[in-house]
Amino acid sequence: GQSLEQPSEVTAVEGAIVQINCTYQTSGFYGLSWYQQHDGGAPTFLSYNALDGLEETGRFSSFLSRSDSYGYLLLQELQMKDSASYFCAVKDSNYQLIWGAGTKLIIKP
């Protein structure tokens, strides 16, 4: 079967750094995407890793290790507006996205 595992909830303090992990087991793999979804909103694309290593986009970075079937999203200088759910999603051999259940990020002042 295909599965993605990520923590259901993470709590952090405003201004801090938080890491959201994702491990996956899929029948095919082209890359790992991360999406952000605010309550009542649509998922919005954050990043995509096809190769091993770290990709940085402003305050957000994403890492991939294909040999470990593992990736993470790193959020720095947390702001209250970063409170949302974060989803990892694998692009499988059919170019379709297989989604994790999401991690709810709670930020405290």
Q: Which positions lie near another protein, rule CB under 8 A?
A: 4, 30, 41-45, 48, 87, 89, 91, 94-97, 99-102
d(CA 43, CA 35): 6
d(CA 4, CA 98): 8
Least distance to another protein, CB of residue 73, Å: 14
Least distance to another protein, CB of residue 57, Å: 13
Measured from the CB atom, the residue of 13 and 94 that comes closer to another protein is: 94
Measured from the CB atom, the residue of 79 and 93 that comes closer to another protein is: 93
In contact, 97 and 28? CB cutoff 8 Å: no
Measured from the CB atom, the residue of 63 and 86 that comes closer to another protein is: 86
Question: What's the Cα-to-Cα distance from 91 to each of 56, 71, 95, rounded to whole Å?
Answer: 20, 13, 5
In contact, 92 and 27? CB cutoff 8 Å: yes
Least distance to another protein, CB of residue 86, Å: 11
Measured from the CB atom, the residue of 98 and 107 that comes closer to another protein is: 98
